[in-house]
Structure 1
Amino acid sequence: MRRRVVHASCAIVIFFCVGTASQAQSATVAGRPVGIDVFAQLTQHVKRQADTDKQAFAIASQCMNLFYKQQRHKPAPPAVQQIAWIPSESSVLDAADSDAQEADCRKRYPKGLDDVRTDFQRTQALLSLSLTFYEFALVGDGDDNSLYNARELHDILVALNLAAEPSLGAAAHLRSLTAQFDSLHEARGMEALMAGMGKLYDQGYRVTTADKAHLNRVME
């Protein structure tokens, strides 16, 4: 009889240990940051677009400066007496680069200043939106660990009026976020993006020192 009691007690202890271990494992899974790839892949997606926007904005800016300089500095009158001057190799390269840049700008903007002003404003707006969305993605990582936990992922989805049900899975959430960025970028939807940022601020999120440092690296 005593042996049965001992066996029963051991069974209870084993059951309790297994149950406790299962509960602990479940708690660990629940508390683990979800969508580890969501933060990394979302920021990479936005950064690729930001890099493209930076290049387009730089070209528009350079061409606008070139056209303004040409407008301010009219060709000088011919010299009274010709002076023999043999440019150095570096000067020849600089002149060639300048000629190539002017030819490229004329090809891109056949109407000159009118065309380039319009494109300058367009590329500036697109770059601003990309960088602001990148900042939004950083702000949503409230503890600055380059991961979205369940709460953070939920909050950034809700801030952009996207479905946030955990049952959808991290992959679906990532597709939803990247598609929303692409849509906002195409529409230059800065107002909607800033409304989303405001919702994060209402939840207590803020731009941190780490966020600023991260954003500065992207802007280089």
Structure 2
Amino acid sequence: MPEILISGKYPTIDESGHIVSPNDPHKLPTDESPSECCPFHTDHAIDQLKRRNLARDQGREVYSVTREDESMREALKQFRAVRDDYRTADYGKSFNWAEIATEYKRQLSNFDHLPSRETEDVPIDWFAVAFRSKRRTDCDNVDLFDADRKAYEEAFYGTNKSLLMYWYSDLDDEQNCLATCIWTSRDIARSVNSLPHHHEAARLSAGSYVHYNVGRCRIQWVDDTFRVSSW
């Protein structure tokens, strides 16, 4: 299984239980074309609106579109590992941040019509989560996939797309895996932990892995480059 990057539509699963990429994994859902939004909801535009309103009713923060965040969303479509041991290596040294920075700068002009996050003397930042695990050989990959899909949709649509990117790897020879997501806001990211599908995914995790670790990083835009540090 190759690495999978998701910035909108979640991938499907084939009959043998292997995860496969959809035809266009980078296409973002739109209310104008609900049938293309997500393969699991036929009335997805209505469902998305209900989730967004529920989040507001619960007092949870949801994402408001900005120039920098949408530029980052586009730039992260180039996200890839630059070393073979990225599943266990330092997060800031494992991916092509320089290439993403170049694309981020290029994308900014495409979103000049949007509000900006820029404030004087305060670097723009994003929140990353790295889930490193060693999977049990006898775990139910289909159940794990389904729980992961539901948690992703809950996070992506329930926060009005604050989740900019979700990326996960295949297993190496020792069953190690890395899943990582990047958010517009640490506070928004934390708010989804209490949601039901995230609870179910966490429950399954307890029996699916030999061990796992959750790392959190801050990605700052400083001097025309990305600075990645623990958070």
| TM-score normalised by length of structure 1 | 0.27
Structure having the larger proportion of residues in helix: 1
Q: Which has the higher contact order (CA 8 A, sep 6+)?
A: 1
- Which of these two proteins has the greater Rg computed from alpha carbons? 1
Q: Greater share of strand residues, 1 or 2? A: 2
TM-score by length of 2: 0.26
